[in-house]
Amino acid sequence: MTAEGDNRVLMQKVSKELLSMMQVPSVAARLASAETAASQLAARFAAASGAPLPGAAAGAGGTQAAGGGGAGGAAAAAVALGAAGLGEPLCMDAVRKLLLVREARLLRALALAMRAAPPGGSFDEWMKAQSDQVQGAAKAYAEREVFDACLRALDGAGAGAGGAAAQPAVAELLAPLVALFGLSCVENDLAWFLSMELLPPKVARLLPSQIRRVVAALAPRAPSLAAALGVPAHLVMAPIAGDWEHYNRYNNEGELVGEQFRE
């Protein structure tokens, strides 16, 4: 699907489709499970006051079916991240629930706003009054969907009926990547999670340091992870991908100058 290359228009299409699917049984079940997830999060954070947060096993089954699966992957990630000291303050099951609750609440709020639009005013309501809500609901859906897919991959559930869980060495490598994505999704919308009282301020304050620890753990493996993408060397044109010190020795006005950049 394309929309003149405008991703924001695509986001509108996503939200429109989601609104039309809210009564589809699988979607309705997922949205309904969000408030159960919110209650589980509240209980988890309340029980954790002054103590390390429970691991992914706590409350993991509450949203597995309706939330798109991934609880097994969250548990696999918890093992890998816990061994590296990267699983606190937010374990992957908590991140999964946070993203699920955000998706459901934003979509419901958008649906209520559109129902309340005056007769003949749906266009202005959608394009003007609710523009931020339209974009936010679509983004929340996409981020939750991607995170669930990552967890299913860790658990082997994404490989079909005969899929096997990721090997320990692979899970050890992939889990921090999945964690970085999920934690960044929460951090980027931290004000919303705090305003909805889904995250205690104490946990929110610790989130940036958890992300920095995950990044530090990934840094030594960054070249291997980049190579795993399989991008041919002749397509890697950015100077930062090569000898950037040589590139910056003099003012080349942003041009690739020299024999080494002509290969």
Please give the share of the chain, as a percent, with pLDDT higher than 90: 52
Question: What is the percent of the chain with per-residue pLDDT over 70, rounded to a whole number?
Answer: 78
Given this model, what pLDDT does residue 32 score? 95
Q: Is 1.20.140.10 the CATH number for 7-230? A: yes
- The dihedral through the CA atoms of 18, 19, 21, 23 has a sign that is positive
Q: What is the 3-state secondary structure (H, E, C) of the chain?
A: CCCCCCHHHHHHHHHHHHHHCCCCHHHHHHHHHHHHHHHHHHHHHHHCCCCCCCCCCCCHHHHCCCCCCCHHHHHHHHHHHHHCCCCCCCCHHHHHHHHHHHHHHHHHHHHHHHHCCCCCCHHHHHHHHCHHHHHHHHHHHHHHHHHHHHHHHHHCHHHCCCCCCCCHHHHHHHHHHHHHHHHHHHHHCHHHHHHCCCCCHHHHHHHHHHHHHHHHHHHHHHHHHHHHCCCCHHHCCCHHHCCHHHHCCCCCCCCCCCHHHCC
Return the amino acid letter for 224: S
pLDDT at 35: 93
Domain extents in the chain: 7-230, 231-263
Q: What is the pLDDT of the chain when averaged over all its residues?
A: 82
Q: Which residue has the tokens 């490989």?
A: 159
On the question of pLDDT at 201 being above 90, the answer is: yes
Which pLDDT value is given to residue 70?
Answer: 60
- Residues 133 and 114: their CA atoms lie apart, in Å, by 11
Q: Which is more confident, 152 or 63?
A: 152
Measured distance CA(2)–CA(13) in Å, rounded: 10
pLDDT value at position 63?
Answer: 40
Tokens matching residue 242: 């090569």
Alpha-carbon span 144 to 96, nearest angstrom: 7
Q: How far apart are CA 95 and CA 86, in angstroms?
A: 13
